[in-house]
Amino acid sequence: MIVFFIFDCLLLAFALVVLAIGNNQFFLNRTGHGMVVAAMVCGLFFTIHTFLLSDPLNIVLFAHSSLGTVSLRFDKLSLFFLGLIQVGGIVTSTYGIGYLSHYERLRSLKPTLTATVLLFFSMQILIVANHAFLFLVAWELMALSGYLGIVLEREKEEVQRGSFIFFAATHIGTLFLYIMFLLLHQQTNSWEFSTFAHHTYLPSVITTIFWFGFIGFGMKAGFMPFHFWLPEAHPVAPSHISAVLSAIMLKTGIYGLIRVITWTHPIDFFIPSTLLMISSVTAIFGIWNALAQKDLKRMLAYSSIENIGIIGIALSIMMFGMQHQQPLVTFLGLSGALFHTANHFVFKSLLFMSAGTIYHHYHHRDIEQMGGLMKSAPLIGGIVLIGSVAICGLPPFNGFASEFLIYSGFFDASSVLHAYFPFFMLIAAVALAFVGGLAVVGFSKNFSMIFLGSPKTASKKPFHFSWYERVPLSFLTVLIVVLGLFPQSIVGICATIFNEQFPSSQPLSWISPANSIQSVGMIALAVLIVISMMVIVKRKLVARRSTRISVPWGCGYNAVTARMQYSGTSFSNEIVNIAGQVLNVEKEIRFPMNSFPQQSIFRTSVQDLVLYKIIVPITAALSWTTDLFKWLQSGKIQVYITFSIAILALYLFLAIFM
């Protein structure tokens, strides 16, 4: 079966050749994306087959006297994430054909298509790499290709700023990964992941390795305060690339963090406690910021931060279980994290790609200027509604199933871990419930502003929804429903991964939470059927009687205009005001002051607290400091030689006397 993975890589390589020699943008768009889809299908066939094997598959690439054996390792955990990447490649590349068709006559698509090919190649190699050097090479290639994918509309200032912040943040995180791998090599005298997993580390070293790994991988995943690049980069990328960045690339950070946890097995209670606190703050901060946004894709980017926080909460439960030798708690934490990772991939891909379709209709992302789209585009409205319900964690869809597992982890941890754990878990459970409530408000605002009411601006063209867009969005919608109604299949996959990662624990094949989740799924299915039958009966009853249609009451106004509709800012104003300082909300208000009032003004803007209150001032201070040494760049060779001699003399002094 390895031949299918080879075909996967060869098809991606051949796609690069085609992109290099081709010139017709129509041909390149369909051929490039089509070959990515074909490669991902081959890879997915290999992934499913290999996952069914009892033992991990190792492929040795080469051996070196200094580096050791450089190999690929396909264990259950890596295959799980590899499958997500491959399914993501199929749906986003299919959608990308329709999305980029709008640009075929406007610009060259070669850079974006090349970035797409390299992005999926690098992410696959990264996930299965069993060697630190190979992992870091793939990590750098992923960062570079992600940057190239963002800059499709490179002439826009927001694209230039967002792509630069993405590139800088990625390499800051990479620096911490370099240090983490150097520490692991110092302890094990090896660069291989399989060696890292079987080595016993000193407690002090474990703490250092974990936090370097958390910062490096947390920067990529989007944990607070390392999240600042997400709301800048994701909104300005093409929507299918945004889906890849948010729904797939962020998960490489989660994958790396799980690896660090399983390598080191942290025994310090401070580590999972701090991770739980950071993750809870990340989830609350992310969804509260999302609630305050007017930019549709920026709102979705902050929502990704929220969901990363939820995954981090599950990982902290897993670590508590590991520390107290409680296999059930460990399993619930790991399965909750993996299940929510898969769910976030599904509904966030759907929502980002739907946002791209909406963007091409309006040519802007401001939800305040949208409205009434359900009348002209009921299909995309239904798709977005299902995705919104799923991401809010409401039954009967998939977001509820994974959060149910995480809540089960809270309750089981409270029952088996004593002392202050019940109170600790209660606080975390309340935080997660609060996040869910804010998510309902945020996505209710989005859906109502975009699809309900009347159009705020007249559209000059009918809504266009190509088959390249319909097919992947419809597939993801069906997947949301299936995973919500029949979650036990994913729980079984998570149990297989747990049994491999924790072989010393009692094997778990099927447990009570899985049975509970199955029961919840069946109840939700029954409720869904009853609701559908009630809707059908209602329509038949209404069809038999005449219906009087009249203009709704407009608060005393006879001529109600579209501008008088409830705005998104008004919808969320009271909740946003509660955390106005933390969210860095700025308001400009001018009230009418006389008998013949001038035009009143009410504007709000939200800037990321970490980026604009911490990162920007620090970079400004560094820039001011470096400006003090501009005199060194005089252009005179004498100054450069003198400076080099002075540095050399300093090094010699340190070498002799220090």
% of residues, the chain, pLDDT over 70:
92
Q: Which helix (H) or strand (E) holds 63?
A: strand 57-64
- What pLDDT is attached to residue 283? 93
Specify the pLDDT at position 61.
86
Which segment of 462-476, 486-500, 591-605 scores lowest on mean pLDDT?
A: 591-605
* Domain extent listing, the chain: 609-657
Give the pTM: 0.90
Quick one: tokens of 239? 């929507």
The predicted structure's pLDDT at residue 175:
92
pLDDT at 507 over 60: no
Long-range contacts of 6-13 (CB under 8 A, 24+ apart): 7/39, 7/42, 8/39, 8/40, 8/42, 8/43, 8/46, 8/124, 9/39, 9/121, 9/124, 11/35, 11/36, 11/38, 11/39, 11/42, 12/36, 12/39, 12/117, 12/120, 12/121
The C-alpha atoms of residue 237 and residue 599 are separated, in whole angstroms, by 36
CA angle at 167 for the pair 607 and 257, rounded to the nearest 5°: 90
Secondary structure of 278-335 in HEC code, one letter for each residue: HHHHHHHHHHHHHHCCCEHHHHHHHHHHHHHHHHHHHHHHHHHHHHCCCHHHHHHHHH
Answer left, alpha or beta for residue 546, where phi above 0 means left and psi between -120 and 50 means alpha: beta
- Between the two ends of the chain, the Cα-to-Cα distance in Å is 59
Q: Would you say residue 338 has pLDDT above 70?
A: yes
Asked if residue 553 has pLDDT above 70, the reply is: no
In angstroms, the CA 131 to CA 126 distance is: 10
Going by pLDDT thresholds of 50, 70 and 90, the confidence category of residue 90 is: very high
Q: Give the DSSP letter of residue 536.
A: H
Nearest to 461 by CA among 567, 361, 338: 361
Whether pLDDT at 568 is above 80: no
Confidence (pLDDT) at 465: 83
Higher-pLDDT residue of 605, 340? 340
CA distance 152 to 133: 30
Q: Report the length, in residues, of the chain.
A: 658
**CB 185 within 8 Å of CB 205:** no
| Element at 49 (helix H, strand E) | helix 25-51
pLDDT at 73: 92
Q: How much is the pLDDT for 598? A: 67
User: What are 337-340's contacts with CB under 8 Å, separation 24+?
Assistant: 337/254, 337/258, 337/311, 338/80, 338/490, 338/493, 338/494, 338/497, 339/401, 339/402, 339/405, 339/487, 339/490, 339/491, 339/494, 340/307, 340/310, 340/311, 340/314, 340/399, 340/402, 340/403, 340/405, 340/406
Tokens of 386: 């299902």
Q: Can you tell me the mean pLDDT for 393-412?
A: 85
Tell me: pLDDT of 555 over 70.
no
pLDDT of residue 576: 79
d(CA 183, CA 617) in angstroms, rounded, equals 32
Report cis status (omega within 30 of 0) of the bond before 225.
yes
Query: Using one digit for the tens of pLDDT, what is the confidence trace for 140-179?
Result: 999 999 999 998 888 888 888 988 999 989 989 999 999 9
- Give the mean pLDDT of 546-560: 64
